[in-house]
């Protein structure tokens, strides 16, 4: 896969705030790395870049965009991979459509996103676009399992400078509500196959008509294969009941989904919630809404835009909204509700934020209130339910004294639910869904009704075994509590336990680990960290995603500062830089006020690990010196309070990059392991120190005014460089 032209380290070009920050930081990294003969390149996995790569026939020669995601997908299967991955957009349909329109406006002749494709061309375009939305990037790049934890320097700083936590009281009305049956959890079946096999998924309608939903799915021996479905009728009944209960309780109605990563199932569930909230409107005006191409899955915002000129429908909506419970708001000032856009409220960010705030969410009146946190499926809702119950009993967590929860996550080779997009379907009719192996064996069967959501997920043997061994290594290194968050009463988890227990016993470490259902594990972890001790949560893919936001947001105030290392199964390294949930607000602030409060601390941590990995992989001693100096520079950022402020007039992301470069250069100039590097960086360190007044002044001088980036999803590189590198003095030193 690699050749002499492949960079030693590849940075990903992504979207929104992380990409804007890269325009400032990456030139610094490339300049410093060059001194150690390390090439740092960039590959485009942004949403806009992926769209353009999907339609090469629509582009002119000068617009041509290579398929960088496919390139990286092959690279991560090699031992030479060294990729620093920034958080990218996992696009919902509204984000996808907005990006398409922006690109078309810039002169790219790509097709529209066809909501209801009819012609062959429209069906082809829809298939290409559907492959881009949702978690299209992470399953491709994550050819290894996840090791996520707070870097020691970051944890120490959080304890010394604890963030504000909302107060929890025993009488809080905030709660989690989930389906008591008919959901993915209750309907799940699971089996482990003993040979290589292919399978097909067949829907058999009540009249005997057979439809092959998916064919030729290949599974190697040892794969755990699940199948389940969510009943549409049960979902609708649950939503209607919770809307009524929320109004009676006097709390906010809030829906918490993952309509980005779970790009097939969760937008459908989101659409059911929109329809349930506006049920009288759909009952009275269904034909008119259909004529206007209203799709509840796209959210309340899209619906309102389509019906804004119809006075009768608007009046009906106003009447229903006045009679419904107040809704949890994304932006009270602008009237953006929980149900406006499916990608606005993402469970792994929204639930920790609400919990950190003492169970409070923002209502339409601009004040904080208790909330009914609606999480329809019961697979992982107990984690949040138990967290809320625990804090009602014990009060808020103290970031100054609490320990930390690390995570070892099973995610390699599209493990578990995040790998289920191609095998998730909305049922066209009553009948039965069968998963049939190539020898005719019916592995799974479910009776379904029209509108039910059926899905299958899998986890392969090699990633599972690698995951368990990674957990053993991490527990040995830490010596702390380690829990496999697995529910013996859940079909899928029971199959995983059959792998876990023999490996632990064979390695003589079974007494070092516990196996607990997620609810019990949640309480155990909180009890441990409240005592100032540490715990390792060993989880599957979705729970990995949820917990690596939940605990860091409570411990550190953000998940963007987590150290995230993916040890690729073929020997390479993927170094992730934290979460990007707040990135859209950051971009808005930059465009309006030229202030970027995005914090690159997670990127600094990943960079240090990347250099250290390169040193070990290639025997590049200079890279090790660079990596060690990165750690010192990161410590300097924390020790001297050089992270970005939130408001205009305070230092921002660009200031933090200046200080990072300065501390990095000073650490390199002072080190004794490589005299050549020390001599090279001594004058750079001096120039950065001597130029402090000029650099800080030049960075401050541009603040407070609106800026033009040439786009939102597809920015103009030259305009972004002008905005993100405004210090002539710093640019002259860096080059």
Burial code (b: 16+ CB inside 10 Å, e: under 16) for 93-124 equals bbbbbbbbebbeeeebebbebeeeeeeeebee
CA dist 513 and 719 (Å) reads: 53
Q: What is the pLDDT of residues 376-398, one digit of tens each?
A: 999 999 999 999 999 999 999 99
Closest listed residue to residue 575, CA positions, set 628, 611, 546: 611
**Which of helix, strand or coil describes residue 136?**
coil
Query: 302 by DSSP, 3-state: which?
Result: helix
Q: Would you say residue 537 lies in a domain?
A: no
What is the C-alpha to C-alpha distance for residues 600 and 608, in angstroms, rounded to an integer? 13
Give the model's confidence band at 1: pLDDT under 50 very low, under 70 low, under 90 confident, else very high: very low
Residue 289 lies in a domain: no
| Confidence category of residue 701, pLDDT binned at 50, 70, 90 | very high
* pLDDT tens string 508-555: 999 999 999 999 999 999 999 999 999 999 999 999 999 999 999 999
Residue 511 located in a structural domain: no
Taking only Cα atoms into account, the Rg of the chain, rounded to an integer number of angstroms, comes to 26
In sequence order, what are the beta bridge partners of 698? none
pLDDT of residue 3: 55
Which tens digit of pLDDT belongs to each residue from 599-654? 999 899 999 999 999 999 999 999 999 999 999 999 999 999 999 999 999 999 99
Q: Treating both helix axes as pointing N-terminal to C-terminal, what angle do 583-593 and 16-34 enclose, rounded to 10 degrees? A: 80
As a whole number of Å, the end-to-end CA separation of the chain is: 31
Query: Of 164-168, 400-404, 598-602, which gets the smallest average pLDDT?
Result: 598-602
- Going by the DSSP 8-state scheme, the letter that residue 333 receives in this structure is T
Contacts of 295 (CB under 8 A, 6+ apart): 115, 271, 302
DSSP string, 159-204: HHSPPP-PPP-TT---EEE--SSSSHHHH-EEEE-SS-EEEEEEEE
Res. 153 pLDDT band, cuts 50 70 90: confident
Tokens standing for residue 197: 């096999």
Range of the domain at 669: 9-143+570-734
In the prediction, which pLDDT does 90 show? 82
The residue-averaged pLDDT of 403-429 equals: 93
Judge whether 445 lies within some domain. no
Residues 270-307 have pLDDT tens digits of 999 999 999 999 999 999 999 999 999 999 999 999 99
How far apart (Å, rounded) are the C-alpha atoms in residues 488 and 623? 46
Looking at residue 532, its pLDDT comes to 97
Please indicate, yes or no, if residue 334 is contained in any of the structural domains.
Answer: no
Tell me, what's the pLDDT at 376?
A: 98
The Cα 735–Cα 732 span in angstroms is 5
pLDDT in tens, 181-227: 999 999 999 999 999 999 999 999 999 999 999 999 999 999 999 99
**Phi, psi dihedrals of residue 78, rounded to the nearest 5°:** -115, 160
Q: Does the pLDDT at position 351 exceed 80?
A: yes
Q: Give per-residue pLDDT as tens, 236-247.
A: 999 999 999 999
Instruction: Provide the pLDDT for residue 583.
Output: 74
The stretch 95-113 carries a mean pLDDT of: 96
How far is residue 14's CA from residue 591's CA, in Å, rounded to a whole number? 18
Average pLDDT value for residue range 593-602: 94
* Count of structural domains within the chain: 1
407 within domain boundaries: no
Q: Which tokens belong to 396?
A: 């808020």
Q: Shortest CA distance to 347 belongs to which of 444, 474, 255, 483?
A: 255
Do the strands 481-485 and 514-516 form a parallel or antiparallel pair, or are they unpaired?
Answer: parallel
In a domain, 589, yes or no: yes
Helices (H), 223-378: 232-249, 265-277, 279-291, 300-307, 311-323, 347-356
Q: Are strands 189-192 and 144-150 parallel, antiparallel or unpaired?
A: unpaired
**Residue 68 forms part of a structural domain:** yes
Is pLDDT above 70 for 581? no
Among residues of the chain, what percentage have pLDDT more than 70?
99
DSSP annotation of 559: S
Query: Across all residues in the chain, what is the average pLDDT?
Result: 95
- 213-222, 412-421, 475-484, 514-523: range with lowest mean pLDDT: 412-421
Give Cβ neighbours of residue 161 (< 8 Å, ≥ 6 apart). none
Q: Which two tokens stand for residue 553?
A: 């947001």
């Amino acid at each position: 896969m690699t050749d002499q032209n492949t960079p030693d380290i590849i940075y990903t070009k992504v979207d929104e705030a992380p990409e804007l920050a890269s325009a400032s930081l990456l030139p610094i990294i490339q300049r410093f790395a060059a001194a150690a003969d390390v090439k740092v390149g960039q590959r485009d996995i942004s949403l806009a870049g992926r769209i353009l790569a999907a339609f090469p026939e629509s582009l002119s020669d000068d617009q041509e965009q290579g398929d960088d995601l496919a390139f990286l997908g092959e690279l991560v299967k090699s031992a030479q991979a060294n990729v620093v991955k920034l958080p990218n957009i996992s696009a919902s349909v509204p984000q996808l459509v907005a990006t398409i329109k922006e690109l078309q406006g810039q002169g790219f002749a790509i097709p529209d996103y066809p909501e209801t494709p009819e012609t062959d061309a429209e069906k082809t375009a829809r298939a290409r676009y559907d492959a881009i939305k949702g978690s299209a990037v992470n399953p491709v790049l994550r050819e290894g399992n996840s090791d996520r934890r707070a870097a020691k320097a970051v944890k120490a700083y959080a304890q010394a400078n604890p963030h504000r936590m909302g107060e929890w009281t025993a009488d809080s009305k905030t709660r989690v509500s989930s389906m008591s049956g008919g959901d993915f959890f209750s309907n799940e079946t699971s089996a482990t196959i003993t040979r290589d096999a292919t399978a097909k998924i067949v829907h058999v309608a009540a009249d005997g008509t057979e439809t092959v939903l998916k064919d030729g799915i290949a599974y190697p021996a040892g794969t755990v294969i699940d199948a389940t479905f969510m009943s549409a009728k049960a979902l609708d009944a649950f939503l209607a009941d919770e809307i009524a209960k929320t109004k009676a309780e006097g709390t906010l109605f809030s829906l918490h989904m993952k309509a980005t990563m779970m790009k097939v199932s969760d937008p459908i569930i989101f659409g059911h919630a929109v329809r349930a909230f506006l049920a009288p409107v759909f009952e009275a005006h269904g034909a008119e809404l259909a004529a206007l191409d209203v799709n509840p899955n796209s959210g309340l915002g899209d619906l309102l835009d389509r019906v804004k000129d119809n006075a009768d429908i608007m009046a009906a909506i106003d009447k229903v909204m006045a009679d419904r419970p107040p809704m949890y708001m994304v932006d009270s000032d602008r009237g953006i509700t929980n149900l406006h856009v499916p990608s606005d409220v993402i469970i792994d960010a929204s639930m920790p934020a609400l919990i950190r705030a003492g169970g409070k969410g923002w209502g339409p009146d601009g004040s904080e209130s208790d909330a009914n946190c609606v999480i329809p499926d019961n697979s992982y809702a107990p984690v949040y339910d138990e967290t809320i119950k625990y804090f009602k009993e014990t009060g808020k967590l103290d970031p100054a004294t609490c320990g930390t929860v690390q995570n070892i996550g099973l995610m390699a080779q599209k493990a578990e639910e995040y790998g289920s997009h191609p095998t998730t379907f909305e049922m066209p009719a009553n009948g039965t869904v069968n998963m049939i192996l190539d020898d005719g064996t019916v592995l799974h069967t479910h009776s379904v009704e029209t509108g039910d959501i059926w899905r299958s997920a899998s986890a392969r043997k090699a990633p599972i075994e690698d995951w368990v061994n990674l957990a053993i290594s991490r527990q040995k290194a830490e010596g702390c509590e380690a829990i496999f968050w697995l529910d013996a009463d859940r079909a899928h988890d029971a199959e995983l336990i059959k792998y876990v227990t023999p490996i632990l016993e064979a390695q003589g470490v079974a007494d070092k680990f516990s196996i607990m259902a997620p609810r019990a594990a949640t309480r155990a972890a909180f009890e441990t960290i409240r005592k100032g001790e540490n715990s390792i949560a060993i989880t599957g893919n979705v729970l990995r995603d949820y917990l690596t936001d939940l605990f860091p947001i409570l411990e550190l105030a953000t998940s963007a500062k987590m150290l995230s290392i993916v040890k690729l199964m073929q020997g390479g390294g993927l170094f992730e830089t934290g979460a990007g949930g707040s990135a859209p607000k950051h971009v808005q602030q930059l465009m309006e006020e030229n202030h970027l409060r995005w914090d690159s601390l997670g990127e600094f941590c990943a960079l240090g690990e990347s250099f250290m990995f390169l040193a070990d992989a290639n025997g590049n001693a200079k890279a090790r010196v660079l990596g060690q100096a990165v750690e010192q520079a990161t410590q300097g950022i924390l020790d001297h309070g050089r992270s970005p402020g939130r408001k205009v007039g305070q230092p921002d992301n660009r200031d933090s990059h200046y200080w990072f470069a300065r501390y990095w250069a000073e650490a390199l100039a002072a080190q004794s392991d490589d005299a050549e590097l020390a001599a090279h960086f001594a004058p750079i360190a001096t120039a950065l120190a001597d130029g402090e007044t000029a650099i800080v002044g030049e960075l401050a001088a541009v603040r407070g005014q609106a800026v033009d980036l040439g786009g939102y999803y597809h920015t103009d590189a030259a305009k972004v460089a002008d905005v993100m590198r405004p210090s002539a003095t710093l640019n002259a030193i860096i080059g």
